[in-house]
Amino acid sequence: AMASGALVGAAGLAGLYALSKLLPARAKKSNELDELEKANLDLFKSAIGTETVDTKNFIIAKAPGRVNLIGEHVDYNMGFVMPIAIDRATTIVGSKSSTVSEEADFIIAVPNFENPGGPPTVLKWKRADFFENSRPVQWHNYVRGVVALIQELKSIKIPNFHISILGNVPQGGGLSSSASLEVATATFIEKLCGIELGMVAKAELCQKVEHTWCDVPCGIMDQFASVFGKAGHALLIDCKSITHKAIPMTDPNFSILIVNSNTKHALVDGAYKKRKSACDSAADKLNVQSLREISAEELESKHKAAGLTPLELRRARHVVNEIERTEEASRALRCNDYELMGKLMIQSHESLRDLYEVSCEELDYLVKFALECKGVYGARMTGAGFGGSIVALVETKGMQAAINHIDSQYTKATGKSATFISSPPSEGASAKVVEMN
């Protein structure tokens, strides 16, 4: 069921996001299709065609990526995180298949990974193969895992379907293209089957897919942000109670700038698991359920007696202070105190660099060059680290000058080129039914 040359793991997501450079995000009325949705409909028509599907009930689902403003590497420590959903998304279009085919029950079309602009890649599965939790992990594990877990959770038989997938969330930039793919899939299946998972349950199911079908022991933040995103608001998410508060971010004088280093260091997956186990070990020794349960002061007074190793202490110091910083940052945003918000972002970066050791030279350069610009209040690496992106809080009127400075300095320092996205806080996942003509 594999197309030749489809890439292993998340790397294979790259093709789905091949259009990320071409598609400006524009707000539309909800019944109008945006450029990405239109491009995906064209992909469906050219790759699969409309003869084999129910064209009266054609579904368009989309789910956004996210950027985390502050609260990094604390979601799996049950702390607070504060992401926004961004105006880049994964779209899924398709419908129930209306014909019985000998060769395929499920069909998924995606853009051509190997040869962008070439003929789309079309994958076909019989039902038994589609629901098999196979290894090595490939990009379609994210899709098939969601479908399988919904089928199991709801005790229903999911009908055969044909879909195409297209996104403009940059892949490998730390903006959760994988969560947006999972949440878009879940949202598509809800419409296809006329069911509602419930928003929290949908985020949790997609997180479980990462754990069980993709071997990534992630926290809940990425899926939650993709489900619950709210235009004009950041989300302060409590990863222990799995609840959130929407924090207004509507001041037009300030913008969020995301700068992708276009670097991905190979150690990210192993390093992530190592960080998580150091935190779990520290929590065990401190006799708490998670590092969320202990304050910065308590950590300083108890770590010796608890026997934390120097490494565990560094990791725990980052986590407990980052949780406190994130709560403080939510208060700063509420009061429009951008100066304090910026300071907290800078402290977060220093902690991720020095205590948690998940930054890298490219991210440190981007933060340094961002902070050299007038009107940049704060900047930090965002996402898992070892590459990916930084996020900066920038005065809107200084945005272009900041981009120009960061762009030229980064290339001078590293020989690489950065890419820039400015996104307002955006809406979470949605789906609609249209009639195909």
Exposure string for 119-129, b = 16+ CB within 10 A, e = fewer: ebbebbbeeee
How many angstroms separate the CA atoms of 259 and 253, rounded? 19
- How many CB atoms lie under 10 A from the CB of residue 391? 31
Pair 66, 179: CB distance under 8 Å: yes
How many angstroms separate the CA atoms of 368 and 267, rounded? 23
How many angstroms separate the CA atoms of 65 and 177, rounded? 6
Pair 163, 176: CB distance under 8 Å: no
Sign of CA dihedral 346, 347, 350, 352: negative
Q: Please give the backbone phi and psi of residue 103, each rounded to the nearest 5 degrees, phi first.
A: -90, -25
Pair 73, 278: CB distance under 8 Å: no
Tokens 């899709």 — which residue? 143
3-state secondary structure of 350: helix
Which residue among 75, 215, 222, 407 is the active-site one? 222
**Going by C-beta distance under 8 Å and a sequence separation of 6 or more, which residues neighbour residue 100?**
none
Is 284 among the catalytic positions?
Answer: no
Give the residue numbers annotated as catalytic, written as ranges.
222
